[in-house]
Structure 1
């Protein structure tokens, strides 16, 4: 990730309620401590937009965040708390449930099994808080999959890890940019395996999760475009072996009968263009690269990764650990600010 220098956060009056409702508490996992996670968290949590929308509590290592603040030249108070309920919110203050797992001399920008294990533990604690109802959303800084595996935790990524930790059998990955939103029927598996796994029930459940997420985000009647599997969505049997008719069309028929405005199967090479001009509120991609490729072309810098189907909404930056610039102060916090915004927007307000 090539990034511009981070600007100083804007100050704003502290708010703990909006329109009479308490602001949601968002657990912010620190990600891989050798990457840029700490450097994007510090300015993002102090940003005026974050302060107005939510009450963030970091699950991570307080000293690593202090190192990041010094690198960035940001003056703030980083305070350790035992639970989210203990957190006090005020200007220039960052609350941290400090797990204290990283050595003080952990190198920036280098693969570390210790940092990989710590990244797992941050997510584990956040998931426990979510299941107990202590937080209303989770926002994750990036982890490094190789470091995660080196630390003894063999998961493809955050999505599968959070599903396991919260006891949810099936979740969906959604990517959101200013131009287009996309939800995936399959993600981190090979293309041949993805085609085998796609079936009408999975397509239907994925569309329903996407529909629910869009409604929660304020789109009352979302129009959802569903991609085909083959080029030109099979073009009436010219390409492939009838996968669209077998695996996708039955799901769309059930969804439309239930009042969900799902359209397709659509040729993927035009679906994203149509979504970018406003024809569709959400695109359903059948496999990883079908959705990720267009999204990263159209808006990775402001992109957000969401997991839908968990007990709480989970959002994340749509970039990696950026080991090449970690520890330099060059990381851009805009995607983390946007991830926090969407976590707050799509989280249910806590009970009084």
Structure 2
């Protein structure tokens, strides 16, 4: 029987366990989207994970969603990431950079640019800006000829990620951001080759993944998906058909993995597991939902056929999560007030478990 602590071969890497640190926005980057020494320490503290997937990294200025997030579209950003990847590797870890284009989930106050999207349909709710939360603006709908440029931005950022020392990249195709917007049936109202039918709505995701795999190698390319996820007002009316078709096209690319979130019924997710012939990372609970992933949720999904299990919030307050899972030690709850406040408090201040006599 497969256990969470068994090793696993992923692409050209041997993972010492099947625990993945899920990508989580922490808004600790410096001005100019630069990674910092604190970010190096944060990820190095968690390097016992089988694989670290970083917070979302914007592939272009217009792709930036939140203030305080890091980028991979300038030489200075590449240089700033190198100490981070070096620190993770020095501690025996492996790290993929998550490439995240925000699309319509952005604001001119953050980037100085009007956000773009598949259609001129604003996200639901407020977006973060340097001045605090503000209503999501109406994005400019991309012209057909512009769409490949934004698909290519993932590949260009991936090249920079490898140059910065990352072991690979994960395309953020989930949670209402640009790839997810193209998959959507209400954010994407296009009538060209990128909208309407399932075949057309998956096209952007497939092109972005294919360009990235060509740029850095399929074994260094993963993608995260949230079937049916309601984030930022996204709706998908044909989840099984949509994602089965998408996985069939992605399977042709021999990607390193697909990373699924538990955003729809388990029956659908199990069917998608069967439809995907490669490595599956499963995030067993709804991101930012009431439940948090623990050992029982991980074991449940390993039994259902997942290969690796990603843990999000558990990793914020438990840098030694693998050891706690190994020995059955209690997990410390994270202080939600420090998730996005910046600084080292609630970032570098969670200790490893202290044994007492």
Q: Same fold (TM over 0.5)?
A: no
TM (norm. structure 1) is 0.28
Q: Which has the higher contact order (CA 8 A, sep 6+)?
A: 1
TM (norm. structure 2) is 0.28
Higher helix share: 1
